[in-house]
Structure 1
Amino acid sequence: MSTESTAPQRGGEDVSRRLLDSAATLSYDPADEVDWDAPLDPDLYGLNPEWSTLFGTPLWQEMTERQRITLTRHEVCSIMSTGIWFEMILQQMVLRDQYVADPGRADFQFALTEIADECRHSIMFARACEKMGASGYFPTRASIELGRGFKTLAAAETAYGGILVAEEVLDVMQRDWMRGENVLPLVRTTSKIHVVEESRHMKFARQEIREKMRDAGPVRRRTSSLAIAIAAYVIVSNMVNKGVYAAAGLDTERAVKEAAGNTYHHALMRSSCAHLMDFLGRAGLLTRPAMAIYQRAHML
């Protein structure tokens, strides 16, 4: 085997080994790290108000402070519920990718470490939603079926691209939430745990994408870029269920309309996706059709 062909494998192994060392040094058990018995301060938000889909709209100005607090708690629970949905997809894709792989390799071992992390994260999000009294938000039926197909068919850079998109978008949001002094400690702590551990998952996904795209031809690049963009659109469009507006006592039809036209929130999403778009561009996964989908999702 040539030096050129073995070098990328060694590079991937080195990255995975460092990630395994990091996981051994800095990981959390939400059952112990989160104070599940602490009462929820009635005056604290579920997420930074600036991240609410209605922040800056005329409807937001009309809402009472209690409605704003209630809305943000339901919004964060909807986002967490979407996270659980995609983490279940993620786990199946990673397991399939590592099926009968060499268990002595560091990338195999880190892949299983990531799956273990995701299981804990899903339980953590489920408990947080239950604590806030806002569990039961699900993607649309069409999105659920698309997700079923994606987890079954997506492979190589398409699978890891979908994983990266979901993790990057949530990561930027949670970095703000974990620092928000007006945000519930429950959300701040769960966000911190997720940010720290997902940073390793994102490094792993980027490395897998680089390796799998190294020999990809133009047709494969176009196909994969489009599939990842569609997955991104489905994920982002399902983050906030319209039921959150009814939970806050709002006119759902009006709230959905104002959220859809909220240019402030659109700009916030675009800025939060800048690093992701830069990486996809450098990886050759930002074709014109893909860019059109990202623009429709206000990610570009």
Structure 2
Amino acid sequence: MTTPSRTSAPSSTADRERDERVAGRSAYRAVIERLSKASVDKHWEPYRDIPWDDPEFHIDPADPRWELPELDRLGGHPWYRSRSPEVRARIGLWRVATAMKIGLQFENLLKRGLLNYAYRLPNGSPEFRYVYHETIEEGHHGMMFQEFVNRTGMPIRGMPGPLSVIAQVAPWIPLISTELFFIFVLGGEDPIDHVQRRVLKEGRAHHPLEETIMRIHVAEEARHISFARHYLRNRVPRMPAYRRFLLGVAAPLILGVMARIMLAPPGAMIRRFKVPAHVVAEVYLRDPGARRDIRDSVGKTRELCAEIGLINPATRRIWQVMGIWEAVRG
């Protein structure tokens, strides 16, 4: 009778783990290929698919449809409601235009980072094609955002100067850690996606140009966000423990800062319309609802970080300090 090999069980375990890795990689590749195909089958071009010169799409700064919704917090404050309809509309248009300017500046950083990432990809990499699809789509978003800003006639700056200078390091993050870069990507994309989906669902009348731009952006950003999440699910569990811990420390810092950049009231708007300091403090700093908005805007990324092992008792404290912690579901 043949005696069973002492190494048969470990070998079987190793084979099973290898098969699981192969299956996981195949499933990941299939997702990337599906996203690339979707970019071919369903995409938009800003100067073909948006009727900029249609009279219905003309931007009138006094149009009441620009007034801030109450979910903006300032929109429901007595100080804002006491302004004239024209001033309320101009404040709302300034808010929308600033969000688009900051969005195109973020996507400029994102595109440069994606190209730095793609530069080092090997032949045959499924990520290469997808990254170029996303880069092209982000280029289209930047064009439609800037065209909108131009047509408002307002002196919109976007990011404050010092922050814009600091942000120039972002495109080089992929040379250090691609995982960290895609945390940064989600830190910029998820809060805006969260807000735009809420705005589109609220049921109020929107200016058709704003609504068209938001719907295009939400549809294409769904692919971009999906890629970042699948990339992190594929890569992070295979990172060495010490690198995974460092990423777990960095993630809440990046997400907390990015959410505030994307959702904070524009300083230039506050100065332009002389919004009192106590009003700003009441609606954006002391209002529990405003803090909840920040926390909720990164909710999906927080759940992802828990899923891929980036949240533990040590890093959870950082999430709490950054004001973006909430017990994850499941």
Normalising by structure 2, report the TM-score: 0.80
**Is the counterpart of residue 279 in structure 1 residue 298 in structure 2?**
no
Q: CA deviation at 1:49?
A: 0.9
Between 47-56 and 32-41, the greater mean CA deviation after superposition: 47-56
Aligned match of 2:193 in 171, 180, 191? 171
Unaligned runs of 5+ in 1: none
Structure 2 distance, partners of 1:159, 1:96, is 11
Find the counterpart in structure 2 of residue 238 from structure 1. 261
AA in 1 matched with 2:25: Q
Aligned match of 1:196 in 219, 229, 234? 219
Instruction: State the Cα RMSD in Å.
Output: 2.6
State the structure with bigger RCO (CA 8 A, min sep 6), 1 or 2. 1
Q: CA deviation at 1:51?
A: 3.6
For residues 28-67 of structure 1, the aligned pairs below 5 Å read 28-37=44-53, 38-41=57-60, 42-46=62-66, 49-67=69-87
Unaligned runs of 5+ in 2: 1-14
**Is the counterpart of residue 292 in structure 1 residue 312 in structure 2?**
no
Structure 2 distance, partners of 1:103, 1:184, is 45
Structure 2 distance, partners of 1:130, 1:82, is 14
Structure 2 distance, partners of 1:67, 1:296, is 33
Find the counterpart in structure 1 of residue 27 from structure 2. 11
Find the counterpart in structure 2 of residue 138 from structure 1. 158
Structure 1 distance, partners of 2:318, 2:209, is 36
Moved over 4 A (4+): none
Q: CA deviation at 1:86?
A: 1.3
Structure 1 distance, partners of 2:169, 2:317, is 21
AA in 1 matched with 2:49: E
Normalising by structure 1, report the TM-score: 0.88
Aligned match of 2:288 in 242, 263, 267? 263
Structure 2 distance, partners of 1:214, 1:264, is 35
**Is the counterpart of residue 150 in structure 1 residue 136 in structure 2?**
no
Aligned match of 1:113 in 128, 133, 139? 133
Find the counterpart in structure 1 of residue 231 from structure 2. 208
AA in 2 matched with 1:40: I
- Count, aligned residues: 298
Q: CA deviation at 1:197?
A: 0.5
Structure 1 distance, partners of 2:173, 2:106, is 15
Structure 1 pair 280/257, CA: closer, same or farther in 2 (3 Å)? same
AA in 1 matched with 2:141: H
Q: CA deviation at 1:123?
A: 1.0
AA in 1 matched with 2:217: H
